[in-house]
């Protein structure tokens, strides 16, 4: 995909660049050289102070929060020009840099140097255009419900019992669910991603039209996060979509839901197993997880009126009494008031399942019922495997 194409976003903000003498396109041959060998830690301009705000995450000290939009403290006409080399030498990139400086007090020159080192990745667009969740359940399931992932999940649980027990006690999320998410996401850190996050987010934010606004926002969050954490943004790797660490948190989720669970004063989802465990549990709690409540159960259906409850946008909001009146039946021992109905395409035909609010909480991690079912089934296998190990050790 041509990286110099002016997107719809560019047309909306082009006036900002065209009317600002400080941000003019310059031929690559005239732009200054920049070196990736030199460390880069994003800094805040001293002319404007960002007021710290408390993170919603527990056990985390005050972190810098993006301020509300304010007029620039200096007239754009008086600012020195900035120059971006390479594929990001384009109007949208200049507009983005100016916006980050104006709203979040970033150093414009420093961001221009960073953007000169961004390498667009066409493979990122290819990967996000063919997600695994587009497959039927009977093909999706074997990717995650496999002996290797189950065995590693049991071993990971036993090696980190202290942190899992603490997370379950504090947030109410069962150990097997947290372990399953970490297993599905990265196989317990083995596959945490090999793309530079800044490259992925810039590629998707400027050259993937279906979700460009979302990924531009995540690029903003990543730059703010890098400044807060003292990271060199060029050194952070993650998935093709820009997710990071053992639990594959997007930058916005990292800023809002990452917790310092080992008490070392840092929220480190890349290297701290404790922080990863605590952060996944906290994320689910904040998205509605209820301790001890049901997650999902298979259902039977009769007639045709039940089909109106099935939606691609899964929500656990339909009163169960209403479902029962429309031909849906399930395990009578389950106590709940509301659920969502969904279908899975298995080798023997379609199956119907009821997902409760806890199932919905898992879909907030990845908005796919296939993903949530994979997490649930892997969790049950890990739970059984751990029970066997406990029996063998006694």
For residues 214 and 241, give the distance between their C-alpha atoms in angstroms, rounded to a whole number.
11
* 64, 185, 221, 228: the active-site residue: 185
For residues 303 and 59, give the distance between their C-alpha atoms in angstroms, rounded to a whole number.
52
- Number of neighbours of residue 361 by Cβ within 10 angstroms: 24
3-state secondary structure the chain: CCCCCCCHHHHHHHHHHHCCCCECCCCHHHCCCCCCCCCCCCCECCCCCCCEECCCCCCCCCEECCCCCCCCCCCHHHCCCECCCHHHCCHHHHHHHHHHHHHHCECHHHHHHHHHCCCCCHHHHHHHCCCHHHCCHHHHHHHCCCHHHHHHHHHHHHHCHHHHHHHHHHHCCCHHHHHHHHHHHHCCCCCCCCEEHHHHHHHHHHHCHHHHHHHHHHHHHHHHHHHHHCCCCCCCEECCCCCECCCCECHHHHHHHCCCCCCCCCCCCCCCHHHHHHHHHHHHHHCCCCCCCCCEEEEEECCCHHHHHECCCCCCCEEHHHHHHCCEECCCCCCCCEEEEEEEEECCEEEEEEECHHHHHHHCCCCCHHHHHHHHHHHHHHHHHHHHHHHHHC
Residue 185 among the catalytic residues = yes
CB 342 within 8 A of CB 391: no
53: β partners:
63
Residues classed as catalytic: 185
């Amino acid at each position: 995909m041509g990286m110099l194409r002016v997107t719809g976003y560019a047309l909306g903000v082009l006036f900002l660049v065209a009317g600002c003498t400080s941000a003019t396109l310059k031929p690559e041959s005239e732009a200054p050289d920049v070196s990736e060998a030199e460390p880069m830690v994003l800094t805040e301009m001293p002319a404007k102070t960002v007021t710290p705000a408390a993170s919603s995450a527990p056990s985390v000290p005050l972190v810098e929060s993006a301020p509300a939009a304010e007029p620039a403290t200096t007239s754009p006409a008086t600012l020195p020009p900035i120059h971006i080399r390479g594929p990001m030498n384009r109007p949208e990139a200049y507009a983005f840099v100016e916006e980050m400086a104006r709203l979040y007090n970033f150093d414009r020159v420093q961001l221009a140097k960073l953007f000169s080192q961004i390498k667009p990745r066409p493979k990122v667009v290819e990967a996000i255009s063919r997600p695994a969740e587009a497959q039927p359940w009977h093909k999706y399931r074997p990717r995650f419900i496999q002996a290797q992932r189950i065995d590693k999940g049991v071993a990971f649980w036993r090696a980190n019992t202290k942190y899992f027990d603490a997370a379950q006690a504090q947030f109410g999320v069962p150990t097997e669910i947290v372990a399953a998410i970490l297993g599905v996401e990265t196989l317990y850190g083995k596959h945490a991603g090999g793309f530079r996050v800044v490259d992925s987010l810039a590629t998707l934010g400027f050259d993937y039209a279906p979700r460009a606004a979302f990924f531009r926002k995540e690029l903003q969050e990543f730059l703010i996060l890098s400044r807060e954490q003292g990271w060199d943004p060029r050194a952070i790797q993650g998935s093709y979509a820009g997710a990071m660490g053992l639990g594959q948190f997007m930058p916005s989720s990292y800023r809002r839901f990452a917790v310092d669970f080992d008490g070392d004063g840092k929220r480190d989802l890349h290297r701290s197993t404790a922080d990863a465990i605590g952060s996944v549990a906290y994320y689910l709690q904040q998205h509605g997880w209820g301790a001890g409540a049901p997650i999902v159960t298979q259902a039977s259906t009769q007639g045709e009126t039940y089909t109106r409850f099935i939606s691609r946008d899964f929500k656990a909001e339909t009163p169960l009494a209403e479902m029962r009146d429309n031909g849906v039946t399930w395990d009578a021992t389950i106590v709940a008031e509301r659920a969502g109905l969904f279908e899975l395409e298995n080798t023997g035909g379609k199956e119907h399942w009821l997902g409760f609010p806890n199932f919905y909480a898992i879909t907030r991690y990845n908005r796919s019922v296939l993903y949530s079912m994979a997490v649930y089934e892997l969790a049950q296998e890990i739970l059984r495997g751990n029970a066997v190990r406990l029996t063998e050790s006694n």
